[in-house]
Every structure is written in C-alpha cells, then in structure tokens.
Amino acid sequence: MFTLPDLDYGYDALGKYISKDIMELHHGKHHQTYVDKLNTALQQATDLQNKPVTELISNLEAVPEPIRTAVRNHGGGHYNHTLFWKFMSPDGGGEPSGALAEALQKKYGSFQEFMDAFSEKALGIFGSGWAWLQPDLSIVTTANQDSPVMNGGAAPLLGLDVWEHAYYLDYTYKRGDYVNAWWHVVNWQEVAERFQLA
Ligand code: MN
C-alpha cells in the first residue's frame, strides 16, 4: 500500500508565497487522492503492490491494460507530488551555488536566463501539467500527471506543478504570479544534491 509522505515543513511554512490553505488541500486532499486511487487500482494487480512507484510508472507496459491509465495518472501524481514537496522549502529561494550554478550558467548564460526559460516553459503549458529541469539541464514539460521517467527519461532535478489546484486559491488565473512566487521557495540544496547524484 502506498501512503502519503509527510512534509518536511508545516502547511503554513511557505505562507507568504504558497498559502496554508493551498498546502492543506494540495497535500492533504489532492495528493492523498492520487495515493488512494493508486492503491485502489493495484487491488487488481497484487503482484505490483510492492514495487516502487518509479518502477510502476517507468514501465507502464508491464501494468495490466485495464488499470494502466489509472496507474499512469495516480501513480504519476503520487510520484510527481512526492518530489514536488521536496523541491520547496521555507529556507528556499535565492540561487544555487557550486557545480549546479556553474552548469546552469554555462548552459543558459546566467541564472536569470535559466529562470526566464523555465518560467516561459511553465507558462506555455496548455491546461494542466508540469515543467521539469532534467539532469542534462534541459527543460521539458509533461501534460496531466505524466512524468519524465515515464518514457524512460531520467528522474528530474526540479519540477513545477502548474495545475490550477496548485495556485488558484492564491493567484486565481495568474499563473505567472504563482511561478514568480514559487522561485522564492525553491529548495536549491535538494536540486544540487540530485544534480550531484545524477
Ligand atoms: Mn498538484
């Protein structure tokens, strides 16, 4: 059985940028629902229940067809959100340092230009989806709860949820304001560690 992971910080910890109300709903309700529906789907495939979610969604062909879409959507949702909570911190924001900073500067010209490119991708997503920074420092997007690992891709270094449930309570339709605020809580320490491991 999959379970909802605890946050490393309180629901109110990102308050100036992402409100307690959003965090309560996003983590406590939306993410919980992905977990619950993934567990429900896997009741039809008990041999898959003990596999890591990464393995399930990176090899969807191995999932029985009747539950494949459910595992794709809810397994993807569980995986993506588990990462997303780690990608934010009340001590976040600012700029990365060290090897990650140098690599981003080399690829994008400056940290600001990287942020601009990432924000542009996030704003360009039609409907619900995610923007991701990959280990090769490319920026990719996925629709719905699809994830870069689904097509044999590498695990992302960073990801931004641009579903309306992630921002509408605070920012209504102004996705750009949400993206601008989100940079203030990005956990660059986590991103740098993932870059080193990759
Ligand atoms: Mn979400």
Dig out the tokens for 44 from the structure: 């039809």
| Position 43 confidence tier, pLDDT thresholds 50, 70, 90 | very high
pLDDT in tens, 52-62: 999 999 999 99
pLDDT of residue 120: 98
What's the 102 CA to ligand 1 centre distance in angstroms? Answer: 30
Domains of the chain as residue ranges with CATH? 20-86 (1.10.287.990), 98-197 (3.55.40.20)
Q: Are the CB atoms for 17 and 181 separated by under 8 Å?
A: yes
Prediction pTM value: 0.97
User: Which DSSP state fits 73?
Assistant: I
What's the 62 CA to ligand 1 centre distance in angstroms? Answer: 26
What's the 97 CA to ligand 1 centre distance in angstroms? Answer: 28
For residues 174-192, average pLDDT? 98
User: Strand pairing of 129-133 and 158-161?
Assistant: antiparallel
* Torsion region of 158: left, alpha or beta (phi above 0 gives left; psi -120 to 50 gives alpha): beta
Q: Where are the alpha helices (DSSP H) in 10-88?
A: 20-25, 32-42, 53-58, 65-70, 76-86
- Give the bridge partners for 15, in sequence order: none
For residues 31-54, average pLDDT? 97
What's the 74 CA to ligand 1 centre distance in angstroms? Answer: 11
What's the 122 CA to ligand 1 centre distance in angstroms? Answer: 14
Dig out the tokens for 100 from the structure: 């990650």
What's the 61 CA to ligand 1 centre distance in angstroms? Answer: 25
pLDDT in tens, 73-97: 999 999 999 999 999 999 999 999 9
CA distance linking residue 133 with residue 131, whole number of Å: 7
Task: Find, among 8, 2, 167, 5, the residue nearest to 87 by Cα.
Answer: 8
Phi, psi angle pair for 114, to nearest 5°: -65, -50
Rg (CA), the chain: 17
CA distance linking residue 34 with residue 93, whole number of Å: 28
Mean pLDDT, the chain, whole residue set: 97
pLDDT in tens, 83-139: 999 999 999 999 999 999 999 999 999 999 999 999 999 999 999 999 999 999 999
